[in-house]
């Protein structure tokens, strides 16, 4: 039996798996993020369906609308019901129950991470430059 080199073993292993040998950690991280996105979308839509069953009296469903929410594991697009309350005002019950601010696209955890990252960056004052000198 001959000696097998590391590159030959690497090539053989790569032929046995769909997972890239280089970048395998990123591959699995992205797979985990996709799974989390699916799970959150399903959870949000199930919560919206449950809220339909217990909605306030006098509220009627107008339709469904999509919303995209940026989370720690990527964008999650989900559908939730738009209601009209007894006063004629349009409302997203799921957004209100989960305290999702209107027109805000990022989750509180993402917003916190962005603030944390930006406050940790030192900004050096810009020196005036004279382009004619």
Strands (E), 15-102: 60-71, 74-84, 90-91
Q: Look-up: residue for tokens 């940790």?
A: 120
Taking only the tens place, the pLDDT of each residue in 111-125 is 998 888 888 776 666
CA distance 86 to 103: 24
Taking only the tens place, the pLDDT of each residue in 76-113 is 999 999 999 999 999 999 999 999 999 999 988 999 98
Taking only the tens place, the pLDDT of each residue in 14-63 is 888 887 777 889 989 999 999 999 999 999 999 999 999 999 999 999 99
């Amino acid at each position: 039996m001959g000696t097998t080199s590391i590159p030959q073993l690497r090539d053989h292993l790569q032929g046995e798996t769909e997972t890239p040998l280089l970048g395998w950690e990123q591959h699995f991280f992205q797979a985990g993020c996709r799974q989390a996105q699916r799970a959150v979308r399903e959870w949000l839509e199930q919560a919206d369906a449950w809220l339909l069953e217990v909605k306030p009296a006098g509220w009627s469903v107008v339709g469904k609308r999509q919303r995209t929410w940026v989370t720690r594991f990527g964008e999650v697009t989900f559908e939730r019901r738009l209601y009209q309350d007894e006063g004629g005002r349009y409302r997203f019950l799921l957004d209100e129950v989960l305290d999702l601010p209107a027109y805000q696209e990022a989750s509180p955890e993402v917003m916190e991470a962005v603030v944390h990252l930006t406050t940790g960056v030192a900004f050096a004052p810009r020196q005036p430059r004279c382009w004619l000198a």
